[in-house]
Amino acid sequence: MSACRQDALWARKGGAAGEELQLPQGLRLAARFDEPPQAPGLLADPPISRWIATAERNRRLLLEGGVEVAGLPLDRIRRSLREEGSAAPVPLAAGDPPVLVTGHQPILYHPGVWVKLFAGASAADAGGGRLLNLVVDSDVADLSVPVPALSSDPAAEPGEGPARPGVPELHRLQPAGLGPDELPLERRAAPDAGAWRAFLEQVRALLAPLAPQAAARLDRLAAVTPEPRESVAAFFSRVRRGWEEGASLPGPTGYRELPVSALSGTLAFRLWVVEWAENARFWREAYNEALRQYRILHRLRYPANPFPDLEETPEGVEIPFWSLPPPEGGDVEAGVPGGPQGSAGRRPVLACALGDRPHGAAGEAHGGRIILRSTGPEGVRTLAELPTGDPLGAARALAQAGVALRPKAIPLTLFARLFLGDLFIHGTGGARYETIGDFLLAARWPEAFGREVPRYAVCSATLRLEGAFRGHPLAELAARRERLEDLLRGVEHNPQRVVADLAGPLGEEAARAGMRPDPELTALAARKEELVRRIQSGGDRKALGQAIREVNGELAERLRPLAGHLARELAAARGAEAVLAERGCPFFLFEPEELWRLLEASSGEPGLPGGR
């Protein structure tokens, strides 16, 4: 295998002739620390009413900044993307409608992710714009979802009072037959019709005792059935849209969707790969420096957080893209999952420079080559050989090689910000790491973005399950948690005071435990109070202490039914509190109307949380 040249082939000229790509001195990453809002709440930064104006400002920065990618003008690459007939309504000129872009893995996600579609559609409709949703089917993901349920509570021990109906808890469920989590979503098959029905029935059975109305609404999901050879990414996207469209007050319906697997087959994406491959050493230096600063600002010790550094080996310089091996019996570019043996996981990609040194006034390379390689359990594999100095030729060579490349997180969102639209809408997690993208924009194109980079929006929401449990005692049970903790501590440490309350504040709990005040119990409590007074008055501490321990033992035995009851109620209250506090429950436990109401309630936007 040829070794990569450690020479100036990597130092392609950026803008003006004679200027090499170098990391600007003193460039600093600005940290963000956005957090999800308290429930029920909405975070939008900048306020949604300013998204269209922000998009228009971003377009001017992008199209008037003289930005070149892989040696080609940005607007030319945007035009090619629109002319290829993709779902993306790519804006090209000042008069085009504004385009907002968001995206996420196509899983059964929670309202904090879902709200980006509502907010984006609302802003686009108000400003005469369009919304594009990137379906990140190139990623891996855990497809299970938390579903509230009542556990089968074991019977109480003899003498510990009656058993309760069950303890609220969260079960994690997913349909059978989805394949391993390490495969990208575009390579994982949708569940078959039987597995999908079984999943819905399992969810319904768990929900029905707690939230019968929410359980009944699952019929809307049953109307969406898997298609032959459909990926789970495509199926779950249809499930979400079916849930939005089938509601009495529908969710957003006018947005377009573009899978990353489809986007990766465009000329614009291949040119983006060429940009990173031809400038691999510069991109690696800038990327790793941004990660270094990010870890310092966020006080992260683990070196792979938020992403691993890009490596350099004798086989090449790593670029932040994945290679997908060909699927067995499938079509990777058509999004058709293949068989299990051909559906191996993603592989890192290396770029290796070979051939002549660059020459000429503008530093253009002649006769050189870039070899793209992947690494994996099977060793190092050559993916494609690209000519240098000819970006369109390199893109054609990449297409002819039939290689399936997919972007990692940072190059994906940078592609969206540069080529797909005018404003990208992140959630809180994405907003934090997108500061790395800002750093890279300013480092690669300092003339255009050295003072100001195109801004992105941040949007998130927190909805919890209180609405789904209207009329159910779950909320009342959760509210009892602190009181139950106090009562149980009293039984354990001050049982004589608990006895005094059995006929008053503790009467209801005692009745639930099958206890009633009786003269013998009252006499034991009085005996304990008397012994404590005698100790406090200077009596024989050793003898009185032994007497107190004996009385405590008798009280504990007599109060065991109450203690057992309180312990079970406390476990149930904590479970109810956890269920009601869970932010990650799937969108199908909520109605679109709840998110529309949240946006409407937050329309007095100067008061939105998280604005800067």
φ/ψ bin of 41: left (φ > 0), alpha (ψ from -120 to 50), beta (otherwise): beta
pLDDT interval class at 9 (50, 70, 90):
very low
On whether residue 286 sits in a domain, the answer given is yes
The reply to whether 257 and 284 lie within a common domain is: yes
* DSSP symbols for 263-274: HTTSHHHHHHHH
Mean pLDDT of 477-488: 83
Q: Taking the CB of residue 208, how many other CB atoms lie within 10 A of it?
A: 16
Q: How far apart are CA 68 and CA 275, in angstroms?
A: 10
- Greater model confidence, 529 or 279: 279
pLDDT interval class at 274 (50, 70, 90):
very high
Of 309-313, 457-461, 504-508, 603-607, which gets the smallest average pLDDT?
Answer: 603-607
Mean pLDDT of 128-154: 90
Q: How many domains in the chain? A: 2
pLDDT interval class at 541 (50, 70, 90):
confident
The reply to whether 212 and 283 lie within a common domain is: yes
- Greater model confidence, 381 or 502: 381
Which residues lie below 8 Å from residue 228, measured CB to CB, with a gap of 6+? Answer: none
On whether residue 348 sits in a domain, the answer given is no
The reply to whether 422 and 569 lie within a common domain is: no
Q: How far is residue 548 from each of residues 143, 493, 533, 538, measured CA to CA in Å?
A: 57, 12, 11, 15
The reply to whether 591 and 493 lie within a common domain is: no
On whether residue 324 sits in a domain, the answer given is no
Name the residue range of residue 494's domain: 474-581
Per mean pLDDT, which of 63-67, 188-192, 460-464, 563-567 is the most reliable? 188-192
The reply to whether 483 and 593 lie within a common domain is: no
- Greater model confidence, 52 or 463: 52
Residues paired with 41 in a beta bridge? 462
- β-pairing, 99-104 vs 130-135, is parallel
Of 204-208, 254-258, 326-330, 383-387, which gets the smallest average pLDDT?
Answer: 326-330
Which residues lie below 8 Å from residue 187, measured CB to CB, with a gap of 6+? Answer: 179, 231, 324, 327, 330, 332, 337, 338, 343
CA Rg value for the chain: 31
pLDDT interval class at 72 (50, 70, 90):
very high
The reply to whether 416 and 486 lie within a common domain is: no
On whether residue 378 sits in a domain, the answer given is no
The reply to whether 208 and 298 lie within a common domain is: yes
The reply to whether 85 and 214 lie within a common domain is: yes
Convert the pLDDT of each residue in 157-203 to its tens digit: 544 445 456 778 889 999 999 989 899 999 999 999 999 999 999 99
- The overall average pLDDT reported for the chain is 85
pLDDT at 121 over 80: yes
pLDDT interval class at 557 (50, 70, 90):
confident
On whether residue 10 sits in a domain, the answer given is no
The reply to whether 446 and 483 lie within a common domain is: no
The pLDDT value recorded for residue 4 is 58
Contact call for residues 36 and 462 (beta carbons, < 8 A): yes
The pLDDT value recorded for residue 106 is 97
Which 8-state DSSP code applies to residue 416?
I
Give burial (CB, 10 Å; 0-12/13-18/19+) of 247.
Answer: middle
pTM above 0.95, yes or no: no
pLDDT at 410 over 70: yes
Convert the pLDDT of each residue in 347-361 to its tens digit: 999 999 986 443 333
pLDDT at 339 over 50: no
Which 8-state DSSP code applies to residue 164?
P
Whose CA is closest to 459, among 28, 30, 54, 29? 54
On whether residue 330 sits in a domain, the answer given is no
Percent of the chain with pLDDT over 70: 85
Question: What's CA 480's distance to the chain center, in Å?
Answer: 32
Q: How far apart are CA 298 and CA 29, in angstroms?
A: 11
pLDDT interval class at 150 (50, 70, 90):
confident
Convert the pLDDT of each residue in 283-313 to its tens digit: 999 999 999 999 999 999 998 899 999 999 9
Q: How far apart are CA 202 and CA 232, in angstroms?
A: 19
Contact call for residues 380 and 320 (beta carbons, < 8 A): no
pLDDT at 51 over 50: yes
On whether residue 296 sits in a domain, the answer given is yes
The pLDDT value recorded for residue 377 is 86
Q: How far apart are CA 467 and CA 41, in angstroms?
A: 14
What letters, b where the CB count within 10 A reaches 16 and e where it falls short, cover 72-85? bebbebbebbbeee
On whether residue 320 sits in a domain, the answer given is no
Mean pLDDT of 91-112: 93
pLDDT at 609 over 70: no
The pLDDT value recorded for residue 367 is 57
Whose CA is closest to 366, among 107, 105, 9? 9
- Greater model confidence, 498 or 127: 127
Which residues lie below 8 Å from residue 134, measured CB to CB, with a gap of 6+? Answer: 101, 102, 103, 104, 257, 258, 259, 260, 263, 412, 416, 420
Contact call for residues 168 and 474 (beta carbons, < 8 A): yes
The reply to whether 429 and 511 lie within a common domain is: no
Q: How far apart are CA 242 and CA 253, in angstroms?
A: 10
| Cα-based torsion angle of the residue sequence 139, 405, 447, 283 in order, rounded to the nearest 10 degrees | 90
Question: What CATH number does the domain containing 207 carry?
Answer: 3.40.50.620
Mean pLDDT of 429-441: 95
Convert the pLDDT of each residue in 322-336 to its tens digit: 999 887 655 444 444
The reply to whether 592 and 525 lie within a common domain is: no
Of 142-151, 262-271, 421-430, 516-525, which gets the smallest average pLDDT?
Answer: 516-525
Contact call for residues 130 and 91 (beta carbons, < 8 A): no
- β-pairing, 404-407 vs 316-324, is antiparallel
Whose CA is closest to 437, among 294, 243, 275, 581? 294
The reply to whether 422 and 567 lie within a common domain is: no
Q: What are the helix (H) ranges across 453-506?
A: 474-479, 481-493, 495-501
Supply 364's token pair: 């253009």
Mean pLDDT of 475-479: 80
